[in-house]
Amino acid sequence: MVKDKLLVKIESLAFEGKGVTRIEGKVIFVRNALPGDLLEIQIVKNKKNYSEARITKILEPSPFRINPKCEHFGTCGGCSFQNLSYEQQLQWKQKFVVDAFQKIAKIENIPIKPVIPSPKLYEYRNKMEFSFGDSRWLSTEEIQSGTEIPPQDKHFALGFHIPERFDKVLDIHYCHLQDYRGNIILNEIKKKASQLEIPAYNLKTHLGFLRNLILRWSHTYNELMVNLVTTSQISEKESSFLAWFKKDFSKNEVFQHLIHTTNDTFSPTNFGDYDIIKGSGYIYEDLLGVKFRISPFSFFQVNTQQANRLIEQVIKYAEPEDKLVWDLYSGSGIFALTVAKTAKYVIGIELLPEAVQDGIYNARLNNIKNAEFISMDLHSKGIFPQLEILKKPEIIIIDPPRTGIHKNLLKSLLQLLPEKIVYVSCNPTTMARDCFELQNFYEVLELQPIDMFPQTYHIENVALLVKKKT
C-alpha cells in the first residue's frame, strides 16, 4: 500500500490543516489537500490507526482551491492554508473549535460566535524568527537534475525548518507574512554570510556560529528591530562577519534597532546576553490607548491590528469595572494594563523576569498605578501557597502556552474559584481539555474565535467561564 498510488476524494480538513480521506474505513491525512479535491496520492507513512500521504497529481481541484502567493508554499510548513480561499479558512477554523469542544470538552451545543476575520491577510506578522542551518533542504528537481551543488549552497540555509525534519532548513527568499523590508534584511545577511562561508549552527553537534535571525516590527511607530543570534565560536571569518554586521550593515536605514545575541546553550529558545549595536534595544506599540515597550525576547501578540480586537473581547467578557483581576502568563502586560483602566486592581504574573520588567515599565510609562507584576513559576508544585498570599481575584484572565494550563496551576484555579475565568488560547484542543477539567465548577458561556494567523490553520479563541451557582 505504501508504494501504490491511490485515487481519492478529500472529505474534510483536520486541525493541522491536512486533508482527510478514508480507504476501507482507515483515515488518511494528505498534506496540502483540500475538501473536494480529486487526487492521486501515495502513502508515505502507515500507522495502525491512520496513514499519511502526499499528492502525486491533482486530477480535479477543489472549488475552494486558489493559487498560493508564495513560491515556498507546499514545502514550507508555515502557511498550510495559502491555497484555500479566506472565507473557507474562517469556516474551517470555526469548525476546529467546535469539534474540539464537542469531542474533548463534551459540550454539544457550543455557544460559539462567528470568527472575527483579520483585516490583513499578508504582511501582518510583527515578529519573524528565521533559523540558520548547515543542511539545506534540496528540492526534488535539484536532486533529480544531477547537477553538482556547491558545498556552501548545500550546507547553508536561512529560513524555516522543514516540518518534522529539524535537521533540514528550507532556504527562504521571500516571506509574504512579514513586512517586505524583512525580506531585504533576510537576503542581505544571507548573502554576506554565504560570501564569507560562515558556518551555520548544527543542532546535533552544537558546532557552528549562526543560529537565528529575529525580526520585530512596531505597527504603530513603523520601527524595525533586527536581532542576530550566534554562538561565541568565533574564528577570523566570524570576526570579519561581525565587523561587517556592526559597522556597515548597521548603517542600513531600513531598520532602527540592531542587536547581537550570544547563545551557547543547547536550547534554541534559551537566548543569552545581547549587545545593542544600534537604537535603544526596544520597540514600542500602542494597543487601545496604552503604550507598550517590547524588549527583544518578550512575548507580544504577533498580529498587532487583531490584538486590539482580542483585547476588546477579553475586556467585554471580563467586565473588570471595580474588580480585582489576575492576569496569568501576563507577558509585557497587554491584558493587565488595558484592563487596569477600569479595574480596581490588577496583578500580572509571569515567569520571564524580562517580561515582568517590561510590565512594570509599561505601567509607569502609562501612569497606571493600580497594576503590579510578579515573577512566578505558575507550573511549580508549590504554586498554590504562593498564590494564596496574594489578594484573592474576582476575575482571572489566563493566556497559557499552546500546551494549555499546567496541571499544578489547574489545581490552584479549582481552589481559588474566582467568579469568572477569561481563557485565551491559540490551541482549541488543549483549551477544550482544560475546560472539561473545570466544568464541575464552571460553565462555558461563550466562545469567540479571532483569526490572528491568516493563511495558517491556527486560530485564537477567547472563552468566558462563569462559576456555577451552588
**Active site amino acids:** 426
Q: H or E element: which one contains 162? A: strand 157-162
Question: Which cell numbers in the block locate residue 31?
Answer: 498534506
Q: DSSP secondary-structure letter at 405? A: S
Residue with cell 472529505: 11
**Residue 204: which of 234, 166, 152, 157 has the closest Cα?**
166
**CA–CA dist 388, 416 (Å, integer):** 8
Residue with cell 528565521: 130
**CA–CA dist 305, 366 (Å, integer):** 20
Question: Which cell numbers in the block locate residue 323?
Answer: 474588580
Identify the burial level of 34 via C-beta atoms within 10 angstroms of its C-beta, where 0-12 means exposed, 13-18 middle and 19 or more buried. Answer: buried
CA-CA distances (angstroms) from residue 470 to 18, 135, 440? 44, 60, 11
**CA–CA dist 470, 60 (Å, integer):** 57
**CA–CA dist 158, 187 (Å, integer):** 9
Q: 3-state class of 141 per DSSP?
A: helix
**CA–CA dist 152, 376 (Å, integer):** 45
Strand partners, 462: 424, 448
- Phi and psi at 170, nearest 5°, equal -80, 125
Question: Which cell numbers in the block locate residue 347?
Answer: 496583578
328 near 337, Cβ under 8 Å?
A: no
The torsion region of residue 122 among left (phi > 0), alpha (psi -120 to 50) and beta comes to beta
193 near 219, Cβ under 8 Å?
A: no
